[in-house]
Structure 1
Amino acid sequence: MAVEHFSPALSASAVSPPYPMAHPGYGKRSVPDQPPSRATDFDLLPFRERYVAAFIERLPEGATMSVKCLAKQIPLYGQQAVGSALTALSVAGHLRRVRCAVGGGDQVRWVFRTYWSRTAHDNEWWTNHLAPEPANAPAPEPVREPVREPVPEPVREPLPAPRTESPAPSPAYLALAGIGRADARLALSAADCTALAPLAERWFARGVDADYLTRAVTAGLPAHVDSPVGFVRHRLNDKIPPALPTAPTPPPAGTPVRRVMMECTECGTPGRPEALPDGLCQPCHQPATPTAVPADPSAERDISAHVAGLRGLLAGGR
């Protein structure tokens, strides 16, 4: 039976926080004429590169593509790992960074642009695609920096105390960050993991672990997920496991304890329940010893007379 996946208008809670954008004309630039996206677009890449590629694929056009900014938004990797992943994606044919000269005269500036392709291409294709643009092609406006005015020598102050280390991520945050490792279609940003952490903590409070949560959220995914944060939020709310029954609460300190003493049902002897099986004390529980029936003396006399008569008959027959 086919399962229908409805796509109603996304509410505000189903949308990730806005990603930092570059100046107009810079940032992420997707190449044209690409086939529709598929769940298997990056399956041939190693896991880290597949995770970063799926994250970049969802970024809007013009998003900032610096290593520092990407590392702030990707919860699993730092700047060094993200930089290595971008290099690997470039070698695989998905990404090219280009340095362009903008402006003229004394106002020429060199800026970087990042071209992104969901489909991997070889070097020849990239060379043709990145051929120099015609001289009359409009160029983006240069980034104008404010004029720096001289400032007086600052007063030297004592060095501030060293900052304390940032708190370690919670288990709920780490579980949400790991969902994208199980399926890149649900890769969440750092802000997404922070926003959804209270929902994941409700799962942990009901006795499940990170593996259970991950399997429940990633089971039966549709071919394409428009909003990973909205999809994960929906499943965290709808598929939360039932609460386990809690242990009985002990009585408060100082509460008088009601003591119960049993007594034998037959003789009334008091005792603890374990000492009165079947409600009877030990003497009453044991069956009475049967008494011997006394022999009838007359029966013994009859037998003796009968034996004497038999002996007389035997003697007369001789």
Structure 2
Amino acid sequence: MAAPGYGKQSAPEQLPRSAADFSHLPAREAYLASIIDHLPDGAAMDVKTLAVLQPHYGQMACRTALNRLSAAGHLRRVRERITAKDCRWVFRTYFSRTPRSDAWWARVLTTGETSTPAAPDPPDERTRNRTPLPSAAYAALAGLGHADPRLALSATDCTALEPLAAEWLARGATPALFAAALTAGLPPDVHSPAALTRHRLLDKMPPERPPQPDHPARVLECTACRAPCRPHALLGGLCRACRSGTPTPPTPPAPPPPRSRLSPATVRAHAARAREAMVTSPRL
């Protein structure tokens, strides 16, 4: 098994297993796809693990087979954030025994939509043909009378003040904070609870929430080189460089400047002058 949160992830909308699931694939790819299909969710399925799980193919063969399974529509590599508030990322490989198109993978992995949405649950017999439940804003206004009888509001008052109370809740106020803010410091006698509540709803309105940065929760990767890519840039799960099979080679370093060369005659002349200087120089 891979580390928690990593490893294989089964894709949705898969057909039941059958003997012909991978008959359209070459023998090596069909054999490895059958092994991956029977792995549980969360199992490691990197090339090293696949090479250990079976005795026939090594790491390079498993790597090539994974790329071909991606091109055939059986798998996609994805990096995902753990939660919307957690910046940590996990790396998963989504596998489908049913081959899927690039458009299907892009729709399911980026938006989570499937082609067959689940049917809604049938209505409960106890709630059928009854009045709808009040909104959270209406319930918060109606609860003010329980928090302090001086702010007891009628049904008409709650309906009229409901938009202002809804704005409070939209800005992050909980029902408890809502009641505490509106009932704090009330005068001894309140002659018009609705007018006082409206005044306090406007004057004590909490600030708007700052906009949250829109970070993608899921990024698709190239199956071969693991580079993050946009969905439309992946064909068969492979980026353009990996599809061409000729990734751009690194730029070679510049050669060193050539050394200056002397002709053999010049070298002999320098050697002769050096010997003559050694013979004629006075000895100490």
Larger radius of gyration: 1
Q: Which TM class, normalised by the smaller chain length? A: 0.3 to 0.5
Higher relative contact order (CA 8 A, sep 6+): 2
With the length of structure 1 as denominator, give the TM-score of the two structures: 0.34
With the length of structure 2 as denominator, give the TM-score of the two structures: 0.37
